[in-house]
A and B are shown apart, each in its own frame.
Chain A
Amino acid sequence: MLRYIAKRLLHMIPMLILISIVSFAIIQLPPGSYLHTKMAELRASGDQISMDQIEALRIHYSLDQPAHIQYINWIKGIITEGNFGFSFEWNRPVKHLIWERLALSLVVSVSSLLLSWVVAFPIAIYSALKKHTFADYFLTFVGFLGLSTPNFMLALILMYVSSVYFGFSVGGLFSPAYLMAPWSLAKVIDLLKHLWVPMVVIGTSGTAGLIRVLRNNLLDELGKPYVVAARSKGIGIARLTFKYPVRIALIPFISTVGWQLPQMISGEAVTATVLSLPTAAPLLLGALRSQDMYLAGSFLLLLSSLTMIGTLISDILLVLVDPRIRYE
């Protein structure tokens, strides 16, 4: 087992290098950069002091060097001192901006993932046991509806309904009072009060997919001879279902964490913009618009690294849970 994990970790290194190259290449794609735009503006207004400052930044971050040198400097900074570069737009080091945002992104994504599990699990089992009944068709339809509604639509509808019919506005992750406050128990409780809206919005799309996978797996299992044999020996249907087929059908919950997490982060990206959540995506979007390259690049790099770690965790869990999988 340890050998398997070690092998997988080694395997991740070239992948991470590739991902960092792609992240860097993407933010280099657009012509011009934040500093170029800024300098042109300053030149127009004739502000010499700021111009000198920016020129210093340019030389410090070797922006006058070719792209591969810039890339190597950036990576060297990340590995040796955890320095992700400098955000020119915010005028602060990137590492001061990203961690809290990323943590909140992860909180929102993971809680949405959990919600989708909690909702999908009973629905899928019910659907499979009562297949081709009205309830099954109805639940399947609702699931498809959730899959077909764009996240931002759902967010907009929730916002509309809550302000028209219930008279309060949803959005954000904190009440104004706690926005700038340091972390405390009260702030966490406040966060939990706001978290349900994005959880519902992001969770719905994932739920539908999970219901289908789990239902189909369960249907395959329920038709197998061992189920018939166990029934003929007199084991009650509920006890039997939960003891064997459900356990096998549960495997997708674990094996799909790997690709559900990036899906959740994706969904979170759009939802966060609509609900103005203080998570990674709105900052990333802003950074992409203003071509604040180190900020945008670091976010891309970290979000995809998270995904890779998620895949690794789900593979390891899969080996632990399913004895039929060997890890040679």
Chain B
Amino acid sequence: MDPNLVPQPELIDEPEVLQDAEARVFYATQWRLMWWKFRKHKVAMVAFAVIVVMYLGAIFAPLLAPYRADERHRGFVYVPPQKVRFRDEHGFSLRPFVYPLEQEIDMQTMQRKFIEDPTTRIPIHFFVRGSSYKLFGLFETNIHLFGADGGKVFLFGTDDLGRDMFSRILYGAQISMSIGLVGVFLSLLLGLFFGGISGYYGGAIDNVIQRIIEVLRSFPTIPLWMALSAALPPDLSPIGVYMGITIILSLIGWTALGRQVRGKVLAIKNEDFVIAARLSGTSEPRIIVSHLIPSFMSHIIASLTLAIPQMILAETSLSFLGIGLRPPVVSWGVMLQKAQNVNTLMMAPWLLIPGLFVVIYVLAFNFLGDGLRDAADPYGN
């Protein structure tokens, strides 16, 4: 090939042709444009930061949690959240401390309750040695971010078996926050596949796929989920249940995505660049994969972000009803199952704390998805 025919980048005299700022926009890729637009969306940026922090928390759960998720503390059942203090009547201390707990029986209600003993301090130390674990399943270590020296520290209290809620929430995040991602990924594959061929080929295939989607969508989701998860064999291993629930969630979740993909494919399959590709002999699967999908990927990502909260809400609801994940698996939904009746709740309202994390996580994803959708829209202002 004649080298003179290949455009030489250095021949384009950028500063003369375009002003700097203009040039930046002109040459920016689609993803860069999206990022610039997204950056202006303050709430979405904050939401993004919250999500990143939460995932870091889940990844480093064994390090951050003072105890193992299944560690039972004898004599510490239904301990209320402990207050971390820096000062008391003995003065200020830079090292945070908690008071030791003493059990007492309330003579009026005949219920056991814990009171703090303000005469001694239990100092909180950082990077202490405790039970050993494997970080990322690789490095064996026993260092925990913090721990009480010669006592116990329960930031969010304990449950009916004397297990630390704070540690369990961290470990539960690993399951709860990954089930949405895995489920959405599976629905993405299904949605791209069925939506893609439905929109691209049209005709009878389209008709059949659309009818299937309609049937799936006319089942109210929760009853359908209930039925499908009741169909999981009861002797399935915890990992099997996890996979089963994810597959069930995505089996229904893909329909909305499938419809969107179909709509997008219908809209762009007769665009000039697709016809050009077809005329130059590109194979059909290649056209779909390398021409069609990239052109609507930004939209798909935005809708995926909005689909993740649906998945986690579904997992939480199913586990709460006792037909989702089951102990010994720790997820936020499984933890909330303990808070099912008012009497328990009156005695230990802190059992609802995992729900707070569900709300924060879902809220953050909703804001993030909203920002992404705006950023992905080329016609928005």
Contact = CB atoms under 8 A, between A and B. Distances in A.
Interface of A: 14-15, 18-19, 22, 26-27, 29-31, 144-145, 147-153, 156-157, 159-160, 163-164, 169, 171, 259, 262-263, 265-267, 269-270, 273-274, 281, 284-285, 288-289, 291, 296, 299-300, 303-304, 307-308, 311
Nearest to B232: A30
Nearest first, the 3 closest Cβ-Cβ pairs linking A and B are A29-B231, A288-B230, A266-B222
Contacts of A153: 336, 352, 355, 358-359
A299 B223 contact: yes
A145 B359 contact: yes
Nearest to B212: A18
Interface of B: 211, 214-215, 217-224, 226-228, 230-233, 309, 313, 316-317, 320-321, 323, 336, 339-340, 342, 345-346, 349, 352, 355, 358-359, 362-363, 366-367
Contacts of B366: 144, 147-148
Nearest to A259: B217
A304 B222 CA distance: 12
A153 B349 CA distance: 12
Given A156-B345, A163-B342, A265-B223, 17 more contacts: A15-B215, A19-B218, A22-B215, A149-B359, A150-B317, A152-B320, A152-B336, A153-B352, A153-B358, A156-B339, A160-B349, A171-B342, A263-B221, A274-B340, A281-B223, A307-B219, A307-B220
Given A152-B317, A274-B340, A288 B323 contact: yes
A263 B352 CA distance: 24
25 contacts: A15-B214, A18-B211, A18-B215, A26-B231, A29-B231, A145-B359, A148-B366, A152-B336, A153-B352, A153-B355, A153-B359, A156-B339, A156-B355, A259-B217, A265-B220, A266-B223, A269-B226, A270-B222, A270-B320, A270-B321, A281-B223, A288-B230, A289-B230, A303-B223, A307-B220
Main secondary structure of the interface of B (DSSP, over half): helix
A304 B220 contact: yes
Contact of B226 (A144, A149, A159, A285): A285
Given A27-B227, A160-B345, A270-B317, A300 B219 contact: yes
Given A288-B227, A288-B323, A151 B317 contact: yes
Contact of B222 (A15, A31, A269): A269
Contacts of A281: 222-223, 226
Main secondary structure of the interface of A (DSSP, over half): helix
A160 to B, nearest CB: 5
Contact of A285 (B214, B309, B321): B321
A300 B352 contact: no
Given A150-B313, A150-B316, A22 B233 contact: no
Given A145-B363, A150-B358, A266-B223, A307 B339 contact: no
Nearest to B356: A153
